[in-house]
């Protein structure tokens, strides 16, 4: 089979499945989502456009697909979604960052350094760091307890900024 034909049919199939992501029927959405996840990374090129969709269910489905594929190249998408107004979108993004493991740590800490005043980012980061520690995916001597304590206390933003800067400078 010609690879151009395969690419075209896959692109066509992906676009058709994406149209179903906004359907009112949850079982149709789930079936489309599962097929898109099975297609894999080539889905990501097309699904990224859905993360800013005005319809909540389309954003949810897109994030769920991206999270289930969990490619490290999706980290910027997950980071952006940590500031979504909907908590379920933020949760899925956090779960995606946890699944990408050590690859997400540096970009996540850079986001905290920039958005230290975002309650959404701080809460999500707390969850992510806690889970990465539970899964033993953080570097040795990582100041988990200190970071988690500061993430829970936004009034300590100066201390948080210094700690994050120090962690970033020590990460290789």
Residue-wise pLDDT for 112-157, tens only, equals 999 999 999 999 999 999 999 999 999 999 999 999 999 998 788 8
Burial of 6 (0-12, 13-18, 19+ CB in 10 A): exposed
What pLDDT sits at residue 148? 97
What pLDDT sits at residue 87? 96
Of 127, 76, 84, residue with least CA distance to 106 = 76
Q: Would you kindly state where each structural domain of the chain is located, as residue ranges?
A: 1-69, 75-172
Q: CATH classification of 1-69 is 1.25.10, yes or no?
A: yes
Residue-wise pLDDT for 68-124, tens only, equals 998 999 999 999 999 999 999 999 999 999 999 999 999 999 999 999 999 999 999
Share of the chain above pLDDT 90, in %: 76
What pLDDT sits at residue 135? 96
Mean pLDDT of 57-61: 93
């Amino acid at each position: 089979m010609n690879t151009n034909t395969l690419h075209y049919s896959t692109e066509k199939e992906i676009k058709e499945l994406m149209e179903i992501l906004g359907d009112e029927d949850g079982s149709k959405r789930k079936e489309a989502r599962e097929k898109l996840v099975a297609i894999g990374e080539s889905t990501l090129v097309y699904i990224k456009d859905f993360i800013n969709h005005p319809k909540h269910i389309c954003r949810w489905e897109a994030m769920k697909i991206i999270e289930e594929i969990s490619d490290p190249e999706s980290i910027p998408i997950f980071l952006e979604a940590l500031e979504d107004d909907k908590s379920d979108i933020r949760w899925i993004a956090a779960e995606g960052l946890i699944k990408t493991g050590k690859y997400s740590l540096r970009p996540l800490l850079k986001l905290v350094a920039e958005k230290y005043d975002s309650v959404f980012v701080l809460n999500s980061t707390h969850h992510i760091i806690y889970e990465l520690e539970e899964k033993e995916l953080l570097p040795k001597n990582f100041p988990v307890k200190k970071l988690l304590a500061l993430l829970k206390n936004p009034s300590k933003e100066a201390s948080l900024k210094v700690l994050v800067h120090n962690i970033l400078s020590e990460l290789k």
